[in-house]
Structure 1
Amino acid sequence: MSETDAPVPSTFDKARAGLWASLQKHLATVYATEAAFAQAVAFADIFPFAASSATADQLYGYEERRWELRDLFTDETAQLETLTKAIRVKGYAETEKKQLYLLLLGYMDIAASVFARLHTQVPASLPKDEELDETTARFGRVQKFARLNIKGIAGIL
């Protein structure tokens, strides 16, 4: 069989490969941001931590890294919402859509463990962050939507 006889990847195969490559890049960014955040909170032994347990420079570094992680969480959530909508409206077969949702869900489950640090590795007195709460709720809805579509909505009814 020559190279010209090789099967041409389908639109779905291209979409799946593109999604896989994109999620790997996003995961690398999530891990890098998590590493920076972990380094910035290394001064704390227990959580929530007392602000008095850190120097002013440590608190400043922590706040900067926390904002970076929080901004990444907001951006990733918006992109995941867009991706789930795109999968839903594409003309793929249900089994193909499930494969794409599985890729997304795998990424989201890993990312969720990183983004959870925004709620757990905090100072004892942290002001209410309504935008973070809303992003967390949106992220949860996207995860549930992906899970429902993997299971098959007909299987739930």
Structure 2
Amino acid sequence: MNPTDPTAASAFDKARTGLWTSLQKHLASVYKAETTFARATAFAEAFPFAVSGASAGQLADYWAARNALRDLFTDETTQLDTLNKAIRTKGYAEAEKKQLYLLLLGYMDIAATIFERLHTEIPNALPPDEELAETTARFDRVRKFARLNVKGIAGLLTLPTR
């Protein structure tokens, strides 16, 4: 894409605005799930918590909220991976791609603090969750890739001159 082409700038502006609007909607969903999860963990005084210290209703609410947050994490990670690939393959100028990656990273940094609760606000005896582990690893890969693109991969691959 030629940065002096007004059509290119218009397409980029639309993409940036669309990404911003989309990320705001996704963030609203993540905040809603976090609020539900926070309510469901309000009974616990410390984490990891003892299952024996919670009522059956509290545990049912906890597992429902945890599963909803976990499913959202999986869905968001898939969509973020797709967005990451879309930014990479579009014909935008490098500076424009960096702007899009910065928007993505801002969202991911906020979302990561929320999704981290899936690892910290847990019962004492939490069974292994391979899907959560895979999603966490994938989320981290997407975030690291976006971060590398903001820093500029080309700049990282050149050796410093003396």
User: TM-score scaled to structure 1, two decimals?
Assistant: 0.94
Paired residue type of 1:10: S
User: TM-score scaled to structure 2, two decimals?
Assistant: 0.91
**Paired-residue identity, %:** 72
- The number of aligned residues is 151
Task: Report Cα offsets for 1:81-139 as digits up to 9, x if no partner.
Answer: 00000000000000000000000000000000000000000000000000000000000
Is there any run of 5+ residues in structure 1 with no aligned partner, and where? 1-6
2:69 corresponds to which residue?
69
CA shift, 1:76, in A, is 0.1
2:148 corresponds to which residue?
148
1:34 corresponds to which residue?
34
1:4 corresponds to which residue?
none
CA shift, 1:78, in A, is 0.1
1:125, 1:134 → 2: CA distance? 20
1:111 corresponds to which residue?
111
2:90, 2:73 → 1: CA distance? 26
What is the RMSD computed on CA atoms of the aligned residues?
1.1
2:18, 2:154 → 1: CA distance? 28
1:125, 1:155 → 2: CA distance? 46
Task: Give 1:99-138 correspondences, 5 Å limit.
Answer: 99-138=99-138
1:3 corresponds to which residue?
none
Is there any run of 5+ residues in structure 2 with no aligned partner, and where? 1-5, 158-162
After superposing on structure 2, the runs of 4+ consecutive aligned residues of structure 1 that deviate more than 2 Å are none
Secondary structure of the corresponding residue to residue 48 of structure 2 = coil
